[in-house]
């Protein structure tokens, strides 16, 4: 509600200032909600312009100008690629949906495989490393990039679209296809605590 009031208030203030420049401020009273309506109409208009041929040419020209600005081009290119990856319905950049034991042992996160084989990264024995994107909730456009051994990536029966719904909803929307037994998920080996560290812990416990 506060965001709606903020947008409406700022827009009505701008319209009042504009009318006052022509001496019409006292003649016209801008009702509540009119500013928000103007913003919605403006967004729809921009979308309509961008969808036609002239609009695409115009926005392509703007993109080319931004790409030539030093220090801004790489940020724009990165954000453009990310948005294209999430909004492109024809082809998804995510090859597989997997479960990864992250951020600690016994806790599993949903991840999207962006590359099944990462060139230059390989474990001893020839096991390949996969790049996995772990999205955050409720905004899946941010997240973490992990390089995970293939054996530690458990296949998830959900599609990318179903996984996105689950992530955005914070676990409220659970697809029926999510039927995985915990025994099917990979378990990381137990990490042995060095002897000297365990002795230090015992000595501290005795002192306490």
Measured between alpha carbons, how far apart are the two ends of the chain, in Å? 53
For residues 154 and 185, the answer to whether their CB atoms sit within 8 Å is yes
Distances (CA, A) of 35 to 11, 15, 24, 206: 5, 8, 17, 68
Give the pLDDT score at 134.
95
Which token pair is 91? 């082809």
Distances (CA, A) of 167 to 103, 113, 140: 16, 16, 7
> pLDDT (tens digit, 9 = 90+) per residue, 65-122?
877 877 777 777 776 666 666 656 555 678 899 999 999 988 999 999 988 988 887 7
Q: Per-domain residue ranges for the chain?
A: 2-51, 96-184
pLDDT at 191 over 90: no
The H or E element spanning position 97 is: strand 96-101
Q: 153 — phi, psi (to 5°)? A: -105, 110
DSSP 75-89: HHHHHHHHHHHHH-S
Rounded Cα gap, residues 166 and 100, in angstroms: 16
> pLDDT (tens digit, 9 = 90+) per residue, 140-169?
878 999 999 999 999 998 888 889 889 988
Instruction: Quote the longest CA-to-CA distance of the chain.
Output: 84
> pLDDT (tens digit, 9 = 90+) per residue, 18-77?
777 777 666 666 677 777 777 788 777 777 766 676 667 777 787 788 778 777 777 777
Return the SS3 of 15: helix
From 65-69, 95-99, 186-190, 195-199, the region with the lowest mean pLDDT: 195-199
Give the pLDDT score at 182.
55
For residues 78 and 101, the answer to whether their CB atoms sit within 8 Å is no
Find the angle CA(159)-CA(138)-CA(8) to the nearest 5 degrees.
Answer: 130
Give the pLDDT score at 193.
40
Rounded Cα gap, residues 52 and 63, in angstroms: 16
Which token pair is 78? 């990165």
Task: Kindly indicate the confidence band of residue 204, based on its pLDDT and cuts at 50, 70 and 90.
Answer: very low
Give the pLDDT score at 132.
95
Give the pLDDT score at 120.
80
pLDDT at 135 over 60: yes
Task: Kindly indicate the confidence band of residue 201, based on its pLDDT and cuts at 50, 70 and 90.
Answer: very low
For residues 78 and 84, the answer to whether their CB atoms sit within 8 Å is no
């Amino acid at each position: 509600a506060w965001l709606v009031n903020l947008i409406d208030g700022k827009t009505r203030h701008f319209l009042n200032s504009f009318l006052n420049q022509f001496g019409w401020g006292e003649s016209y009273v801008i009702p509540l909600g009119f500013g928000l309506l103007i913003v919605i109409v403006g967004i729809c208009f921009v979308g309509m312009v961008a969808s036609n041929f002239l609009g695409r040419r115009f926005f392509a020209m703007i993109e080319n100008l931004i790409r030539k600005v030093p220090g801004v081009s790489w940020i724009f290119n990165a954000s453009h690629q990310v948005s294209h990856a999430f909004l492109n319905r024809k082809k998804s950049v995510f090859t597989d949906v997997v479960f990864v034991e992250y951020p600690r042992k016994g806790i599993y996160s949903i991840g999207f495989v962006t590359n099944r084989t990462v060139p230059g990264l390989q474990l001893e024995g020839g096991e390949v490393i996969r790049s996995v994107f772990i999205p955050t909730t409720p905004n899946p456009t941010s997240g973490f990039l992990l390089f995970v051994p293939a054996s530690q990536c458990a296949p998830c029966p959900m599609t990318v679209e179903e996984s996105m719904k689950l992530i955005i909803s914070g676990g409220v929307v659970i697809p029926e296809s999510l039927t995985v037994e915990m025994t099917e998920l990979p378990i990381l080996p137990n990490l042995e605590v060095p002897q000297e560290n365990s002795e230090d812990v015992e000595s501290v416990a005795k002192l306490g």
